[in-house]
Amino acid sequence: MAKTQLNVRVDEGTARAARERALARGMSVNRYIEELVRQDTGEVGHTFVEAAADFMKQYESVFAEEFDGGAPARAKPRVGEDREGTREGRH
């Protein structure tokens, strides 16, 4: 995989911490930062899935009631749409 160079300015304390953590893990600062970014971007997807599952769990009874045992309820049309989901004025 091709590498791209990034130049990042951080305060001395952050730079020191990055060097110490990288050294403790036996890797370069570049590799350490790369791993942090990979972990962070992977967590976003995981966090979203967890939040969605939590939402569904919290509102499970509402969904069950709304959809009456699997038969979907008729959705209310959005502003500018008729019941068939088409724009008013278009036929």
pLDDT at 67: 80
Residue 72 lies in a domain: no
pLDDT at 71: 54
- CA 50 to the chain's CA centroid: 10
pTM attached to this predicted model? 0.47
User: Domain containing 47: what range?
Assistant: 12-66
**Number of domains within the chain:** 1
Q: Which residue type sits at 49? A: V
pLDDT at 49: 80
pLDDT at 15: 96
Residue 56 lies in a domain: yes
Residue 79 lies in a domain: no
In three-state secondary structure terms, 51 is: helix
Does the pLDDT value for residue 46 go beyond 80?
no
Residue 2 lies in a domain: no
Place of tokens 């050294």: 23
Distance, in Å, from the CA atom of 30 to the CA atom of 84, rounded to the nearest integer, reads 56
Residue 45 lies in a domain: yes
Residue 4 lies in a domain: no
Residues 31 and 22 sit within 8 Å (Cβ to Cβ): yes
Residue 1 lies in a domain: no
Residue 34 lies in a domain: yes
Q: What does the pLDDT look like over 8-40, one tens digit per residue? A: 999 999 999 999 999 999 999 999 999 898 888
Q: What does the pLDDT look like over 56-77, one tens digit per residue? A: 888 888 888 888 765 554 556 6
